[in-house]
Amino acid sequence: MSAPPTILVFIDADACPVKAEVYKVAGRHGIKTIVVSNSFMQLPRDPLITRVVVSAGLDIADNYIAERARRGVIVITADIPLAARCIKAGADVIAPNGRAHSEQSIGLALATRNLMDDLRSAGQITGGPRPFAPKDRSNFLSALDLAIVRLKRAGLEPER
């Protein structure tokens, strides 16, 4: 019988406004965090935080994360197609605003994203996402802590 998967956090980091919050919560739980970006990014000196810089290009960072998504992995991203790929692989996905995506919700999120993309392509003014607010940060902290606690209760341990 093989050991259960371990808990890891991946951050789709290029435009992520909650990196510091991830470091704080994951660190408190002793969980390794992998920060994936297309360019060099300054990180805290912490053995639990690893930087991965991928080459520039469309979906290179997304592919890196999606290829490593599995049960026990928590992915932090605002990218809906990446979220869908990671959920399909068994990962937990949390948006920076604290919204936890699931198999049940990701289909609607993808459809909405595609509709808005089509409207923008047709020249319709659709606005953008609402500005990031303190409430979003609070919701994110709660969602990340909840996801970690749920995985631990399921018998998964932080990667060593």
pLDDT, tens digit (0-9, with 9 covering 90-100), for 62-94: 999 999 999 999 999 999 999 999 999 999 999
Parallel/antiparallel/unpaired status of strands 92-94 and 100-101: antiparallel
Residue 141 has pLDDT above 90, yes or no: yes
- Are 112 and 70 a contacting pair, CB within 8 Å? no
CB atoms within 10 A of CB 41: 15
pLDDT band, very low/low/confident/very high, at 108 (cuts 50, 70, 90): low
User: Where do the domains of the chain lie?
Assistant: 6-158
Alpha-carbon Rg for the chain, nearest whole angstrom, is: 16
Q: Which CATH architecture has domain 6-158?
A: 3-Layer(aba) Sandwich (3.40)
d(CA 124, CA 17): 28
Residue with the bigger pLDDT between 30 and 111: it is 30
Query: At 12, is the secondary structure helix, strand, or coil?
Result: strand
What are 135's two structure tokens?
């409430």
Query: 103-121 vs 80-88: helix axis angle to the nearest 10?
Result: 150
Average pLDDT for residues 115-133, to the nearest whole number?
70
Residue 93 sits at φ, ψ, to 5 deg, of -130, 130
* pTM of the predicted model as reported, rounded to 2 decimal places: 0.87
> Which residue's entry shows tokens 């003014």?
125
- Are 26 and 148 a contacting pair, CB within 8 Å? yes
Ranking 16-20, 59-63, 109-113, 134-138 by mean pLDDT, the lowest is 109-113
Ranking 12-16, 46-50, 61-65, 120-124 by mean pLDDT, the lowest is 120-124
Residue 125 has pLDDT above 90, yes or no: no
Can you list the pairs that 68-73 forms with residues at least 24 positions away whose Cβ atoms lie under 8 Å?
68/8, 68/10, 68/34, 69/10, 70/5, 71/5, 71/156, 72/4, 72/5, 72/6, 72/7, 72/8, 72/151, 72/156, 73/5, 73/7, 73/8, 73/9, 73/10
Contacts for 138 with CB less than 8 Å, ≥ 6 apart = 98
pLDDT on residue 30: 96
Residue with the bigger pLDDT between 115 and 17: it is 17
